[in-house]
Structure 1
């Protein structure tokens, strides 16, 4: 199956189903920049290479993506979802609970899901990351369920230095680092754990970025994330 890459058995794999083989392969290429260890499988087009979807390609893609932790399937158009649902119906009873179709846009949801899988999210977490692309990215306050807080007690403001700003790859690196800390952190008011939330800020070179947390629990995370931005993500 084109577009696959090996991964540890505890990572969720992804299958991208598109009517176009080129679109599916291109999305694998994009997502791999942010999730190099996740198994990403392109299942686009018909068996004969034409425009459409293939039951056989999807079934094979699921088998390749599921290394034991499960697989998430993302689709582009309605008929792709129907074909994917049929493929799930034909899976073994032992395998079917480990495979889910995400109700998410293919590109945004696929990128978010890939990052969630890369940082070790389970099946439910990867699906949730994909489906977060359907709604407005949460703020840090929404994500924690807290009421409107006073000014954060821990905060650092740094200048974004990398040439292309906080685009997909550095944003993914940022989220991966944030996920290593068990503390609430925000980036200009957005949850630092939300890839789509951070990318929605449209941060470009030269802009100020405020990394903040509500108390001392967040200090280590704030400092580490601010330091990462100050390095320019290795892109200078």
Structure 2
């Protein structure tokens, strides 16, 4: 089993479309849409959200993603009514980008907390915040230079797939890293952020410089390197 996902949107079409998109990248993950009102209007429905959560029960936990403010309130109300609220987490993430990253993480076997982190990581931390989260305090020395602990593992890999770093490769990298105990940067941006990876605009032939810290640093480096060298399974 995997973590399951529920999408809460004011629009039934938006919810269904987001689910369809994410399912292309995570075919084994149960993703349920709860969009619009029961009578087909724009809005949110507590009954539809509760129904989706009931259907999502039985997996390894549930992560809920929403679009606008009242959708968050509806989701929070639903979470207060579920039988096992500890296994249902509400992600603070953009609906589409967060859903894709969460779905890929769930497809890779990440637990419910890691799937939530994958969704929220699409905002992007940036290398400075990522370094702070590792507890690697940098100190300024006499002549103004900055020193700090270097990465545990580094590697350079050339993009070989024709389309380069587009949404699917970025989601695969970010989603997989979410399940590992490591902080990773790719060309200086947060490797767990799908959005940050896409901003690299790295095309075929571009070199990706990977730096990794933490207990799973070597695994993280090998994971990203393996994806890149295999062309992410694309032509």
TM-score by length of 1: 0.77
Q: CA separation in 1, counterparts of 2:164 and 2:80? A: 44
Q: Does 1:103 align with 2:92?
A: yes
* Cα-to-partner distance string for 1:164-215 (whole Å, 9 max, x where unaligned): 2212222233345556876654321234344344234232223221134469
1:77-156 equivalences under 5 Å are 77-92=68-83, 95-134=84-123, 136-138=125-127, 141-147=131-137, 149=148, 154-156=153-155
- SS of 1:33's partner is helix
Gaps of 5+ in 1: 1-7
Q: Is the 8 A contact 1:113 1:129 kept in 2?
A: yes
Q: 1:56 to 1:174 in 2, by over 3 A?
A: same
Q: CA separation in 2, counterparts of 1:180 and 1:77? A: 27
Q: 1:203 to 1:65 in 2, by over 3 A?
A: farther
Displacement of 1:124 in angstroms is 2.6
Q: Does 1:172 align with 2:161?
A: no
Q: 1:142 to 1:204 in 2, by over 3 A?
A: farther
* Cα-to-partner distance string for 1:131-170 (whole Å, 9 max, x where unaligned): 3344534565345332454665754433322222212222
Q: Which residue in the other structure is 1:187 paired with?
A: 186
Aligned residues: 224
Q: 1:33 to 1:142 in 2, by over 3 A?
A: farther
Q: Is the 8 A contact 2:184 2:210 kept in 1?
A: yes
- SS of 2:99's partner is helix
Q: Is the 8 A contact 2:161 2:232 kept in 1?
A: yes
Q: 1:50 to 1:231 in 2, by over 3 A?
A: same
- Cα RMSD of the aligned pairs, angstroms, is 3.0
Q: 1:191 to 1:48 in 2, by over 3 A?
A: same
Comparing 190-199 with 70-79, greater Cα deviation is found at: 190-199
Comparing 196-205 with 73-82, greater Cα deviation is found at: 196-205
TM-score by length of 2: 0.77
Displacement of 1:60 in angstroms is 0.8
